[in-house]
Amino acid sequence: MLKFMWLLLLVITMFSGVGVFVSKRKHLLATLLSLEFIVLSIYSLLFIYLISMGLEMYFTMVFLTFSVCEGALGLSILVSMIRTHGNDYFQSFSVLQC
């Protein structure tokens, strides 16, 4: 019963992160933070699943590696956008300007 409650809590946190990702489209920083929140909840779900099945934890290390790479890529895009445009608003960013 306790494991079910944890899983339900993690699924709720994942969907709240998806809700924030969908609703906050003005700032790049807010979308990146919601993506990291989603990745953290998926990692927790994966960790609990692998623990309960008695499987190896190797895949969690691969998942953490890819999530760190995703975070670093997002931060580099944020920094380059702030350097070129002065802010992180999507309204001031035009793809045709590159």
Question: Tens digits of per-residue pLDDT, 33-52?
Answer: 899 999 999 999 888 888 88
CATH number at residue 63: 1.10.287.3510
**Highest-confidence segment of 24-28, 42-46, 51-55:** 42-46
Cβ of 25: how many Cβ atoms within 10 Å? 11
Nearest to 17 by CA among 40, 34, 41: 34
Contact (Cβ atoms closer than 8 angstroms) between residue 30 and residue 89:
no
Its pTM stands at 0.80
Backbone dihedral angles phi then psi of residue 86, each to the nearest 5 degrees: 90, -10
- Domain with 6 in it: 2-97
CB 88 within 8 A of CB 29: yes
Q: How many domains does the chain have?
A: 1
